């Protein structure tokens, strides 16, 4: 990960997003609690919809973000936990069965049943990213979370499999390699955000996490304490900016600026007295539009996004299984009136969440754009100390090793 003067253990996360690359350095204290001691961010120009499309610019952004974080934390970064997203990511539920060798489940039985569950046919250009156990069944007794030590003759595992395009993952490894950084682990971005934001109660009851970034909206559904469904929708903040640029006939940069300052998703909540200066293109004189007009452009785009999320939930059958509602996060969830709009659209409780319960820089902790970065750090921390496992992590542990094998096999 990284080295520091007083030999404290450091963990580094690198979120290579469509709008920004963020590097966070976390310091682990004697009680294994994590504290953020360094942060670096750089605008990202080499990604489209969550996927690297320009290696040169991505490398520059990573370098800038990492150098900034190194300077602030006073350390040198050698490797980082990073995220992966994009519409190439697919997920499916699978199932494996094995005989228990000595009438009592041991680790090797669990490993074998997980291997059996991951043995499904996937396209040649895809690789398994995560195998996330949902439940174990021993001799028809379901709902078991920790099977080791239990008696029986037949062990079954239900798992959630996440696969991603080999080339997309390789490009991330390549970009980090060009910055002399090793990939510690590569984690599906919404899994990382879930780790930072969702409570165990919510996961038990049934909840849907929606991370609205710049290029993609990432979804993760949890019920009965385990992950059940993941999906990626290629519409997010960039499309909102695009709509503003087209509707107000203004350059994309001005549209982004206007959005960041005045974004509102409910025309009813717009400030009736506020008018916004809109620069025009090609030296034409600027104009002024009302705040309500802006909300009338932004609102329908988010509405459309919510319709797509709802169709995805219906398609997967989880729309009736999430009484804890929807948890919104990601930079593009910081819009006035979004919770109200979402509650009307989904007809269930909605909250916007930012990471909390971790010490360090407040600017990062209260910003939903950093949920993935913080989640990546938390996953690293738990993996390092094998702390009381959240289910996502415990299941991801084995996968991390497999991911490493996969990369070493490819490079």
Query: Quick one: 18 or 226, whose CB is closer to ligand ATP?
Result: 18
| Identified binder of ligand ATP from the candidate list 82, 91, 193, 216, rule CB under 6 A | 216
Cβ proximity of 8 and 32 under 8 Å: no
Instruction: Spell out, one character per residue from 19 to 38, where the chain touches ligand ATP: x when CB under 6 A holds, - when not.
Output: xx------------------
Which of 50/360 has CB closer to ligand ATP?
50
Applying CB under 6 A, the site for ligand ATP has a residue count of: 24
Q: Of 296, 299, 297, 275, which Cα lies nearest the Cα of 286?
A: 275
Residue 177 and residue 171: Cα distance in Å, rounded?
10
Question: Is 40 an interacting residue with respect to ligand ATP (CB under 6 A)?
Answer: no
Q: What is the DSSP string of 253-317?
A: HHHHHHHHHH-BS-GGGS-TT-EEEEPPSTTPPPEEEEHHHHHHHHHHHHHHHHHHHHHHHHHHT
CB of 40 to ligand ATP, least distance (A): 14
Decide if residue 215 touches ligand ATP (CB under 6 A): yes
Q: Can you tell me which of 26, 152, 213, 380 binds ligand ATP, judged by CB under 6 A? A: 213
Contacting ligand ATP (CB under 6 A), which of 105, 236, 258, 328? 236
Helix 291-316 to helix 252-262 angle, to the nearest 10 degrees? 90
Q: Does 238 bind ligand ATP (CB under 6 A)?
A: yes
334 binds, among ligand ATP, Mg ion, none (CB under 5 to 8 A by kind): ligand ATP
As a whole number of Å, the end-to-end CA separation of the chain is: 20
| Beta strands 287-290 and 9-16, pairing class | unpaired
- Taking the complex as a whole, how short is the minimal distance between the CB of residue 189 and Mg ion, in angstroms? 6
Q: How far is the CB of 213 from Mg ion (least distance, A)?
A: 4
b/e sequence 289-303, b meaning 16+ C-beta within 10 Å: bbbbbbbbbbbebbe
**Contact flag: residue 330 with ligand ATP (CB under 6 A):** yes
The binder of ligand ATP chosen from 27, 109, 256, 312 (CB under 6 A)? 256
Cβ nearer to Mg ion, comparing 291 with 334: 334
Q: Which SS3 state, helix, strand or coil, does residue 219 take?
A: strand
Contacts of 388 (CB under 8 A, 6+ apart): none
Stretch that binds ligand ATP, among 100-108, 120-128, 140-148, 232-240 (CB under 6 A): 232-240
How far is Cα 313 from Cα 318, in angstroms, rounded to an integer? 5
Residue nearest to Mg ion (CB): 213
Minimal distance, residue 297 CB to Mg ion, in Å: 23
Which of ligand ATP, Mg ion, none does residue 190 bind (CB under 5 to 8 Å by kind)? none
193 binding ligand ATP? (CB under 6 A): no
Site string for ligand ATP, 73-102 (x = CB under 6 A): ------------x-----------------
Residue 402 CB, shortest distance to ligand ATP, in Å, is: 24
> Is residue 194 a contact point for ligand ATP (CB under 6 A)?
no
For Mg ion, the binding residues (CB under 5 A) are 17, 213, 372
List the one residue from 42, 209, 227, 263 that touches ligand ATP (CB under 6 A). Answer: 263
Nearest distance in Å: CB 357, ligand ATP: 20
Sign of CA dihedral 359, 355, 402, 115: positive
Considering only residues 40, 96, 331, 398, which one is a binding residue for ligand ATP as defined by CB under 6 A?
A: 331
Report in angstroms the alpha-carbon separations of 15 from 41, 81, 197, 235, 370: 9, 8, 16, 19, 9
Asked if 58 touches ligand ATP (CB under 6 A), the answer is no
DSSP string across 329-371 = ESGGG--BTHHHHHHHHHSS-EEE----S-BS-HHHHT-GGGH
Q: Cβ contacts of residue 363 below 8 Å, gap of 6+?
A: none
**DSSP 3-state of 91:** strand
332 near ligand ATP, judged by CB under 6 A? yes
| Span 367-386, contacts to ligand ATP by CB under 6 A | 369
Look at residue 404 and give its three-state secondary structure. Answer: helix
Looking only at the bridges linking them, the beta strands covering 207-212 and 217-223 are antiparallel
Structure-token pair, residue 16: 């290579």
Residues that bind ligand ATP (CB under 6 A): 17-20, 50, 85, 213-216, 236-238, 241, 256, 259-260, 263, 330-332, 334-335, 369
């Amino acid at each position: 990960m990284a080295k520091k003067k007083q030999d404290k253990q450091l963990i580094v996360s690198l979120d290579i997003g469509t709008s920004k690359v963020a590097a966070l350095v976390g310091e682990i204290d004697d009680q294994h609690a994590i504290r953020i001691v360094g942060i670096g961010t750089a605008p990202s120009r080499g990604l489209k919809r969550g996927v690297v499309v320009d290696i040169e610019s991505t490398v520059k952004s990573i370098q800038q973000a990492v150098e900034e974080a190194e300077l602030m934390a006073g350390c040198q970064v050698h490797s980082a936990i990073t995220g992966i997203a994009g519409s190439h990511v697919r997920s499916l539920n699978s199932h494996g069965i094995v005989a228990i060798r000595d009438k009592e489940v041991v680790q090797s039985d669990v490993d074998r049943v997980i291997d059996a569950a991951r043995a499904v046919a996937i396209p040649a250009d895809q690789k398994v990213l995560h195998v996330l156990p949902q439940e174990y069944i021993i001799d028809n007794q379901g709902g078991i979370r920790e099977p080791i030590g239990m008696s029986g003759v037949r062990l079954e595992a239900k798992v959630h499999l996440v696969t991603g395009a080999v080339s997309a993952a390789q490009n991330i490894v390549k970009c980090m390699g060009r910055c002399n950084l090793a990939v510690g682990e590569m984690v599906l971005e919404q899994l990382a955000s879930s780790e930072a934001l969702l409570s165990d109660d919510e996961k038990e009851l049934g909840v849907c996490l929606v991370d609205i970034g710049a290029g993609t909206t990432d979804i993760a559904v949890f019920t009965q304490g385990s992950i059940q469904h993941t999906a990626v929708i290629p519409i997010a903040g960039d499309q909102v900016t695009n709509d503003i640029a087209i509707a107000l006939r203004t350059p994309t940069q001005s549209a982004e600026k206007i959005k960041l300052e005045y974004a509102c998703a409910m025309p009813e909540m717009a400030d009736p007295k506020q008018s916004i200066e809109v620069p025009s293109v090609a030296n034409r004189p600027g104009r002024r539009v009302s705040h309500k007009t802006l909300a009338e452009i932004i609102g329908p785009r988010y509405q459309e996004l919510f319709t797509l999320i709802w169709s995805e939930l219906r398609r997967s059958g989880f729309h009736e299984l999430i009484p804890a509602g929807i948890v919104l996060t990601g930079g593009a969830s910081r819009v006035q009136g979004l919770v109200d709009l979402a509650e009307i659209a989904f007809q269930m409780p909605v909250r916007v969440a930012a990471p909390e319960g971790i010490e360090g820089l407040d600017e990062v902790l209260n910003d939903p754009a950093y949920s993935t970065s913080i989640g990546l750090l938390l996953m690293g921390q738990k993996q390092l100390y094998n702390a009381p496992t959240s289910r996502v992590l415990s299941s991801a542990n084995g996968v991390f090793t497999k991911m490493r094998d996969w990369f070493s096999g490819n490079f």
